[in-house]
Structure 1
Amino acid sequence: MKTLNVDVAVIGAGSAGLPAYRAAKAEGARAVLIEGGPYGTTCARVGCMPSKLLIAAADAAHHASSTAPFGVYVDGNVRIDGRDVMRRVRSERDRFVGFVVEGVEQMPAEDRLRGDAQFVDDGLLQVGDDTRVRARSIVIATGSTPVVPAMYRTLGDRVVVNDDVFEWQDLPRKVAVIGAGVIGLELGQALSRLGVAVTLLGGARGHVGPLSDPDIAAYARGVFEQAFRFESRAHVEAATRVGDTVQLRYRRADGDVVDDTFDYLLIAAGRRPNVGRLALHNTSLALDGDGVPVYDPLTLQAGGQPVFIAGDANGVLPLLHEAADEGRMAGLNAARFPAVQPLVRRAPISVVFTDPGIAMVGARHADLAPDAYVVGEVSFEDQGRSRVMLRNRGLMHVYADRATRRFVGAEWIGPDAEHIAHLLAWALQMKLTVDAMLAMPFYHPVVEEGVRTALRSAAARLA
């Protein structure tokens, strides 16, 4: 058994762990990066990139079959070759993963440890069978894992999570998606556009992605109900394996019971932090009900110990840019301990890559104090450029503070949501008022003119 003495040990070589390691090294710390699974990050291997590859194929199929309203006709059927679709998804996915792996393998060999890490005590880690690491500070950046509810765990390979989808050799005939969150909406719509018969089942609360504004959520619900079989409020009563299929019984919001059979159940019911195998019970750290160390969300420090938790492992903001920022700050704080500094977060921004897209910037509607804000609104149904492109579906609400006239947030569904979200996030981070935003240039005709309409609506209500 060999023992390494280091300044900083980073557990996890993903989107948070890599920035943590690099930040610690930049501070001159002796740091090691510990990884028990494959290199490649969740984003590149099973998250952001492969899902966007599948969505890109779905969009191509949708556009090819939606030209007639422009007077442009594609003679014959649009043919989707599932094997070719999935072959490109895997090939390009592997390319992105390769870039990440190459970057990791360029790190000094003595800084890279392979094996699962477990705490022996507060500052001592067991890595694999033959190595122990005594670290002055430790960063936990172990990521998260999809949650599969107990009722589905006996169904074998007919139950999949998003990680599994990207290993498919061909597209299935019929899929039920359980969960109407970001992953469920993105993959459900993509598979539907690629010719898969999709049924997407939400939960009792009827949530649509991350939306908290009831008007925007209701509009989005209607959009997806028209696109594929979407039951935003459903309760699954039974799931039974029948040969190579799953028989599902669920109750709809109107009380009707539906029995149906599917090739696969795609579970998109959330993710849980990967902390269960760290043997945290061997430490003095206080743990919450999910077994995650109780930590300061500003400094990322767990209790009074030189332990920091970043990225999906802390369960707060499971987004790549947030994980990278958290990882960087965790690495700095670990290297500089006890001179710990708070993380200055950027303006909140989240995007769902559906069509139309969903986005949220700044404060959520659900978190705003009543009577402290006004709402500006725009419908994209008659917005000029959106209608020109026949992408005129969407509704946006922007929120402005009554006292300061500052823009504080927005929720919406609509065209070019991913791009508009960046503009609004920049305005929020610059602490702009609605008036200052309206003084900015708006070209004509562009979708962003819809944002101007919403801002004008908010300004009128502030008058």
Structure 2
Amino acid sequence: MDEQTCDVAVIGAGTAGLAAYRAATEAGARAVLIERGPGGTTCARVGCMPSKLLIAAAKAAHAARNIDLFGIRVAGVAVDGRAVLERVRAERDRFVGSVLDGVDALPEAARIAGSARFHDRTSLIVGDHTRIAFRAAVIATGSSPTVPKPLRGLGDRLLTTDTLFEIPELPDSLAVLGAGAVGVEIAQAMTRLGVRVTVIDAGNTVAGLSEPDLARQAAAIFGAELDLHLGATLESATCDGGDVCLSWTNRDGRRRETRAETVLAATGRAPNLNDLGLAAASLHLGEDGVPEFDRRSLVCVGAPILIAGDADAWRPVLHEASRQGGIAGANAAALAAGRDVANPEPWTRLAMVFTDPQVAVIGAPYDPDAAGRVTGAVDFSDQGRARVDGENRGGLRIWADRQGTLLGAEMLGPAVEHLAHLLTHAIGDGKTAQVVEDQPIYHPTVEEGFSTALSEITHKICLS
């Protein structure tokens, strides 16, 4: 067996792992990067990029069908499902290729192929060929789709985001289990591409929204396009001829049945930790099997090991994985050199859903029982720019403390991917509603909606 030593061993060459490796080497550490394959990052291969490619095709089809609003007539729209998916894969492969080119550009001696497992708290075994002694290690092994037990016997009738984009043709019908970000994005896109879609979710909200009025609006908006069932419990799923038969119970306790050509499990992703031999590393594991770790330094309890990205099950989105990887790599280098680790404050929470209308959840979560909060609202139904563009659905809810300092928000509406960034930065900078309201906003833009909500907050504070 090949025996190696290093300052920092990074397990996983995805977004977090690559960032960790680079940060460790930039800090002067001798690092190795271990990858079992296939590589290319979750985002590029099976996540945000192929899903947005599918959404882009659906958006084009939907816009062509609904152009009459502007007095423009289009005589018929046809969707070539095979061509849609071929473009998704072709562009997806370009993104993946760019990531792999970056990995290939790293020094060959620093790249080790194979599955890693901990031998003890300061060494790893890779496959059956290499033992690596390290001073610090970073777990950046990513995540995999979770599949609920009733769906596990469906064979190739079951899809996850790891397999969805490999199908050669769009199905005639699709059942989606899960109305979270991934489920509702794919469901709406497939509907707009001509697929008959049913969505089943045990929860009572869509796309991660929790503010009651926005959650109700979202359920109504998305439910108008597809067959949406919230508060539903899946009981069983069986293959029946050319279809899958799903038996489920609705929120009233009534038994229902849905038939679809295929089923997509969109019920979340679980960290890839099972094969790492965490017990051998003397790590303290929580009830979910994830190592206990400090959420600022990312150092795990019990060993000189850090964890970042989807593997820590904390904030599984790309920008967080990249930042966490950088923090973990730099701190791993510090541990290896006997220096103190850094403890940066976490970023303001930001989660988005690229549906139509778009959704964002920002900062402190909605809490009806939180004392001292002041909330401002805006309705997009009569907002000027939203009406001009025919995208006047949804609204904003922004909350602040009694001093006016912005805390968090939920959004459902047009251009939310841009609005959310502006507000996230304002919250991160500790700005008040009054300060943001006093900044110039060009007319006519959807950003003017901020003025309405922020003005309501400042008015309420003045009256209190």
Kindly state the Cα deviation for residue 254 of structure 1 after the two structures are TM-superposed: 3.6
Aligned to 2:199: 200
User: Residue 246 of structure 1 contacts residue 264 of structure 1 at CA under 8 Å; is this kept in 2?
Assistant: yes
Aligned to 1:357: 358
User: Residue 363 of structure 1 contacts residue 409 of structure 1 at CA under 8 Å; is this kept in 2?
Assistant: yes
Distance of 1:213 and 1:298 partners within structure 2:
28
Aligned to 1:49: 49
Deviation digits for residues 354-413 of structure 1 (CA, Å, limit 9, x no counterpart): 0000011211113x75231111010000101101111000121100111x2111111020
2:214 pairs with 1:216: yes
Q: Residues 253 and 369 from structure 1, CA distance in 2 versus in 1: closer, same or farther, beyond 3 angstroms?
A: closer
Distance of 1:343 and 1:94 partners within structure 2:
35
Aligned to 2:91: 92
Please, which moves more after superposition, 108-117 or 425-434?
425-434
Q: What is the TM-score when the length of structure 2 is the normalising length?
A: 0.97
Aligned to 1:347: 348
Which amino acid is 2:246 matched to?
A: L
> Match of 1:133, SS?
strand
Which amino acid is 2:205 matched to?
A: H
Aligned to 2:156: 157
> Match of 2:411, SS?
strand
> Match of 2:370, SS?
coil
Kindly state the Cα deviation for residue 343 of structure 1 after the two structures are TM-superposed: 2.9
Aligned to 1:185: 184
Aligned to 1:312: 310
Distance of 1:223 and 1:214 partners within structure 2:
14
Aligned length: 459
What percent of counterpart residues are identical? 48
Distance of 1:34 and 1:44 partners within structure 2:
19
Aligned to 1:146: 145
Distance of 1:433 and 1:259 partners within structure 2:
50
Deviation digits for residues 190-239 of structure 1 (CA, Å, limit 9, x no counterpart): 11110000001111x31212212122111111111112111122111221
> Match of 1:88, SS?
helix
> Which of 317, 322, 325 is residue 324 of structure 1 equivalent to?
322
Kindly state the Cα deviation for residue 260 of structure 1 after the two structures are TM-superposed: 2.4
Which amino acid is 2:6 matched to?
A: V
Kindly state the Cα deviation for residue 154 of structure 1 after the two structures are TM-superposed: 1.0
Distance of 2:242 and 2:32 partners within structure 1:
45
User: Residue 162 of structure 1 contacts residue 268 of structure 1 at CA under 8 Å; is this kept in 2?
Assistant: yes
Q: Residues 254 and 72 from structure 1, CA distance in 2 versus in 1: closer, same or farther, beyond 3 angstroms?
A: farther
> Match of 1:248, SS?
strand
Kindly state the Cα deviation for residue 14 of structure 1 after the two structures are TM-superposed: 0.5
Aligned to 2:115: 116
User: Residue 352 of structure 2 contacts residue 360 of structure 2 at CA under 8 Å; is this kept in 1?
Assistant: yes
Distance of 1:128 and 1:113 partners within structure 2:
10
Aligned to 2:453: 454
Match runs of 1:244-259 below 5 Å: 244-259=242-257
Aligned to 1:168: 167
Distance of 1:116 and 1:290 partners within structure 2:
22
Aligned to 1:386: 386
> Match of 1:125, SS?
strand
Match runs of 1:265-414 below 5 Å: 265-337=263-335, 338=338, 339-366=340-367, 370-402=370-402, 404-414=403-413
> Which of 230, 233, 240 is residue 231 of structure 2 equivalent to?
233
Distance of 1:182 and 1:343 partners within structure 2:
28
User: Residue 437 of structure 2 contacts residue 450 of structure 2 at CA under 8 Å; is this kept in 1?
Assistant: no
User: Residue 404 of structure 2 contacts residue 457 of structure 2 at CA under 8 Å; is this kept in 1?
Assistant: no
Distance of 1:424 and 1:172 partners within structure 2:
39
Q: What is the TM-score when the length of structure 1 is the normalising length?
A: 0.97
Kindly state the Cα deviation for residue 462 of structure 1 after the two structures are TM-superposed: 1.1
User: Residue 43 of structure 1 contacts residue 49 of structure 1 at CA under 8 Å; is this kept in 2?
Assistant: yes
Distance of 1:304 and 1:178 partners within structure 2:
38
Aligned to 1:101: 100
Aligned to 2:262: 264
Distance of 1:268 and 1:437 partners within structure 2:
37
Kindly state the Cα deviation for residue 327 of structure 1 after the two structures are TM-superposed: 0.5
> Match of 1:162, SS?
coil
Aligned to 1:13: 13
Kindly state the Cα deviation for residue 284 of structure 1 after the two structures are TM-superposed: 1.2
User: Residue 12 of structure 2 contacts residue 139 of structure 2 at CA under 8 Å; is this kept in 1?
Assistant: yes
Kindly state the Cα deviation for residue 344 of structure 1 after the two structures are TM-superposed: 2.6
Distance of 1:294 and 1:432 partners within structure 2:
33
> Match of 1:381, SS?
helix
Aligned to 1:417: 416
User: Residue 178 of structure 2 contacts residue 199 of structure 2 at CA under 8 Å; is this kept in 1?
Assistant: yes
Distance of 1:436 and 1:106 partners within structure 2:
46
Which amino acid is 2:39 matched to?
A: Y
Structure 1 spans left out of the alignment, 5+ residues: none
User: Residue 23 of structure 1 contacts residue 328 of structure 1 at CA under 8 Å; is this kept in 2?
Assistant: yes
Distance of 2:34 and 2:369 partners within structure 1:
44
User: Residue 326 of structure 1 contacts residue 343 of structure 1 at CA under 8 Å; is this kept in 2?
Assistant: no
Distance of 2:292 and 2:431 partners within structure 1:
35
> Match of 2:162, SS?
helix
Distance of 1:156 and 1:298 partners within structure 2:
41
2:65 pairs with 1:65: yes
Distance of 2:257 and 2:230 partners within structure 1:
17
Which amino acid is 1:133 matched to?
A: I
> Match of 1:237, SS?
strand
Aligned to 2:128: 129
User: Residue 46 of structure 2 contacts residue 162 of structure 2 at CA under 8 Å; is this kept in 1?
Assistant: yes
> Match of 1:107, SS?
coil
